[in-house]
Amino acid sequence: MILIIDFGSQFNQLIARRVRENEIYCQVEPAGIDIERIKALNPEGIILSGGPSSIYEDDSPKVDTEIFNLNVPILGICYGMQFMVNALGGSIERSDKREYGFADLTIKDHAPLFTGLEKSTQVWMSHGDSTNRLPAGFTVTASTKNTEIAAMADNKNHFYGLQFHPEVEHTLGGFEMLKNFLFNVCHCEKSWTMSSFVTGAVEQIKEAVGDKKVIMGLSGGVDSSVAALLIHRAIGKNLYCIFVDNGLLRNNERTNLEKSLTTHLDMNIRFVDARRLFLDQLAGVEDPEKKRKIIGNLFIDVFEDEAKKIDGAEFLGQGTLYPDIIESKSAFGGPTSIIKSHHNVGGLPEKMKLKLVEPLQFLFKDEVRKLGLELGLNENLVWRQPFPGPGLAIRIMGAVSEKRLSILKAADTLLLEEIRAAGLYRKLWQSFAVLLPIKSVGVMGDKRTYDSCIAIRAVTSKDAMTADWARLPHELLATVSNRIINEVDGVNRVVFDITSKPPGTIEWE
Ligand code: XMP
């Protein structure tokens, strides 16, 4: 495995992704990690990440310098390189000026990190301080116009430093450099596959849970479904899943989930029909935040009531993913720093005295999808676009009612049918319909109409932090608009949202 020491860079997850893409397992750990734990992890290589600090600041993050005596290859990136320089006796020049953006790298020594690259290549820089004196045993292996020591190597000890960021796409040969580190320097073998993951995870769950019961909330999404399948594979009937039907899902989602999870497996799933309860409490509520609170609280109440009926459950299963875990660990904290539990059932483990089972906690989203396929989950569910916890309630501007829900569901179904038919569903991060709180005048069959308006929202995104409005083909928009107006009673106008995020958000509420 490769150990990534987190010095606080916003790109840490990217480094981890790059390693995993090469089918090598890696873990991101805080800088305060104990040296004994590092030894126990027995890494084949260590990557020191970048970070926002300056190495000479008193409270800059530090990892135990004993790592340099473990006889393990080490790659320092940006701040990680500066940490290495400082720890091994070189020096860093402080600067208030940042070098930010593209730079041309001239390679002086290709082996081993730059093997296969041209002599000159584009890299991406984001640093203030830089190395001005190398530690003993190092040579300069590449430079840029502004940074003489842009890369360094100590081939005897297998220590390497890169002042730029190989993990970002803007560094054209970056992935190759990381590959070279993994395979030519650390001699890692590709062993991180989903089938090997399943075997290990099933064993771990069996060991942790024994013959006790696990309860778990299903949302209809990928993460909770995959986590449930995995736990089910380990403990079978001792897994009790609860699906709260709040009536705010899209058409057919409950049936799809039921089909996906229960046709092939005899899984214990309790469907709680709480549609009336949610609709009643949401009646007349227009404020988006109030709607969210009502839905969140009600979900916990209903889930808890159902969970209490499962006698003697000691564990709560959750589909927490690795990005949640990494984000919740402080770059400066130790291994004991608090890990947040995501999802609406956050407070439940303490309240019901349940221990957590989170079998996806070391996986990224794309790995969860691969795992879903490996476990036989149906493709529609595996590739389902993200869907917000409060469901269609935050896509109905203003108060939610049965009538307005049915208009939105019908429009949304038609939109998704056409998006799928155009082969765009997987290419879009999200695509959905929004019911606006206005009516407008129209004319249909010589008659004046005064009806509702639907907005179409479609975005591309990598992580939902930013998003671009999708350039859907005009022909597709025309078909969708025609179908919605002709087939959905109560709608006489369709508009297309051309706002990116920022300044807009993906959802309208
Ligand atoms: P925004 O609208 O903030 O959404 O750009 C970013 C992503 O988060 C989803 N989203 C939510 N998910 N509960 C959730 O579980 C919520 O209250 C919620 N609000 C937004 C949204 O669908 C998008 O993927």
459 alpha carbon to ligand 1 midpoint, in Å?
13
Q: Is 390 in the pocket of ligand 1 (CB under 6 A)?
A: yes
Among 185, 211, 228, where does a domain finish?
Answer: 185
For residue 254, CA distances in Å to 27, 112, 113, 306, 346 come to 35, 53, 51, 18, 23
Ligand 1 probe mutation, 291, 324, 431, 506, most atoms within 8 A of CB: 506
Q: Is 215 helix (H, G, I), strand (E, B) or coil?
A: strand
Catalytic residue (one of 165, 241, 253, 367):
165
Segment 125-130 shows an average pLDDT of 91
Single out the residue of 397, 386, 399 nearest to residue 280, CA to CA: 399
Position 24 in a domain: yes
Cβ-based burial of 270 (10 A; exposed 0-12, middle 13-18, buried ≥19): middle
- Chain CA centroid to CA 241, Å: 23
Same-domain pairing of 37 and 152: yes
Reply yes or no on whether the pLDDT at 340 is more than 60: no
Query: Does the annotation count 188 as an active-site position?
Result: no
223/122 same-domain check: no
Is 417 designated active site?
no
Residue 346: its pLDDT value, please?
A: 55
Distances (CA, A) of 444 to 72, 483, 490, 492: 74, 14, 12, 8
Distance CA 274, CA 306 (A): 11
Q: Kindly give the distance from the C-alpha atom of residue 352 to the centroid of ligand 1, in angstroms, as a whole number.
A: 27
Region of poorest pLDDT, from 88-97, 187-196, 345-354: 345-354
Average pLDDT, the chain: 92
186 is catalytic: no
Atom 9, ligand 1: which residue's CA is nearest? 388
Domain membership of residue 137 (yes or no) is yes
Whether 464 lines ligand 1, by a CB cut-off of 6 Å, is yes
Look at the chain and count its residues.
509
Given a cut of 90, is residue 164 above it in pLDDT?
Answer: yes
Which of 152, 185, 218 is the endpoint of a domain?
185
Q: How much distance in Å is there from the Cα of 507 to the middle of ligand 1?
A: 7
Task: Pick out the residues of the known binding site.
Answer: 219-225
Query: What are phi and psi for residue 213, nearest 5 degrees?
Result: -95, 145
Q: With respect to residue 448, please indicate whether it lies within any of the assigned structural domains.
A: yes
The pLDDT of residue 284 is 97
Q: How many CA atoms lie within 13 A of 154 on its CB side?
A: 21
CA of 252 to the centre of ligand 1 (A): 21
Q: Please report, for the domain that includes residue 263, its CATH number.
A: 3.40.50.620
Note whether 143 and 179 are same-domain residues: yes
Asked if residue 246 and residue 178 are part of one domain, the reply reads no
Is a pLDDT exceeding 90 seen at residue 350?
A: no
Question: Cα separation of 272 and 306, whole Å?
Answer: 8
The domain tally of the chain equals 3
Q: Domain for residue 393, yes or no? A: no
Would you state the structure tokens that stand for residue 395, as one six-digit string? Answer: 């896509």
pLDDT in tens, 211-270: 999 999 999 999 999 999 999 999 999 999 999 999 999 998 888 888 888 766 678 999
Residue 260 structure tokens: 């996906």
Per residue in 5-58, pLDDT tens? 999 988 888 899 899 999 999 999 999 999 999 999 999 999 999 999 999 998
Mean pLDDT across the stretch 459-465? 86
- How far is the C-alpha of 68 from the C-alpha of 84, rounded, in Å? 9
Residue 327 falls inside a structural domain: yes
The pTM of this model reads: 0.81
State how far the alpha carbon of 36 is from the alpha carbons of 32, 39, 72, 338, 406, in Å: 12, 5, 14, 20, 59
CA distance 178 to 14: 12
Q: Which of 125, 116, 124, 107 is nearest to 172 (CA)?
A: 124
How many CB atoms neighbour CB 8 within 10 A?
A: 18
For ligand 1, atom 6, the nearest C-alpha belongs to 464
- Which candidate in 167, 306, 358, 367 is catalytic? 167
* pLDDT beyond 90 at 271: yes
Q: What does the pLDDT read at residue 356?
A: 93
Residue-by-residue DSSP string for 38-106: HHHH--SEEEE---SS-TTSTT-----GGGGGS---EEEETHHHHHHHHHTT-EEE--SSPEEEEEEEE
Report the run of H or E that residue 223 belongs to, with start and end.
Answer: helix 222-235
Given a contact cutoff of 8 angstroms between Cβ atoms, the answer to whether 501 and 460 are in contact is no
Q: Are strands 151-154 and 120-127 parallel, antiparallel or unpaired?
A: unpaired
H-assigned helices in 318-435: 322-328, 348-351, 365-374, 379-382, 402-421
Stronger pLDDT, 403 or 330, i.e. the higher one = 403
Asked if 228 and 179 sit in the same domain, the reply is: no
CATH number of the domain residue 90 falls in = 3.40.50.880
Residue 351, both tokens: 């309240």
> How far is the C-alpha of 363 from the C-alpha of 222, rounded, in Å?
13
- Asked whether the beta carbons of 132 and 87 are under 8 A apart, the reply is no
Is the peptide bond between 503 and the residue preceding it cis, with omega within 30 degrees of 0?
Answer: yes
Shared-domain flag, residues 66 and 147: yes
Of 167, 185, 203, which residue sits at a domain end?
185
* Residue 45 and residue 15 share a domain: yes
* Contact predicate 492/449, CB 8 Å: yes
Does 380 contact ligand 1 (Cβ within 6 A)? Answer: no
**How far is ligand 1, taken at its centre, from the CA of residue 391, in Å?**
9
Select from 344, 397, 507 the residue to mutate for testing ligand 1; criterion: most ligand atoms less than 8 Å from CB.
507
Q: Which of 78, 186, 241, 453 is catalytic?
A: 78
Regarding whether 229 and 164 lie in a shared domain, the answer is no
Q: Could you tell me if 21 and 93 lie in one domain? A: yes
- pLDDT, one tens digit per residue, over 59-114 is 999 999 999 999 999 999 999 999 999 999 999 998 777 788 999 999 999 999 99
Same domain, 220 and 336: yes
Domain that holds residue 408: 401-496
End-to-end CA distance of the chain: 43
CB of 417 shorter than 6 A to ligand 1: no
Residue 180 belongs to a domain: yes
Pair 302, 422 in one domain: no
In this structure, which amino acid lies at residue 283? A
Note whether 260 and 323 are same-domain residues.
yes
Percent of the chain, pLDDT > 70? 95
In the three-class reduction of DSSP (H, G, I as helix; E, B as strand; rest coil), residue 323 is classed as helix
State in Å: Cα 165 to ligand 1 middle.
30
In a domain, 501, yes or no: no
Question: Do 62 and 150 form a contact (C-beta atoms < 8 A)?
Answer: no
Does 507 contact ligand 1 (Cβ within 6 A)? Answer: yes
508 domain residue, yes or no: no
339 vs 181, more confident: 181
Looking from the CA of residue 461, the nearest atom of ligand 1 is: 24
The CATH number of residue 485's host domain is 3.30.300.10
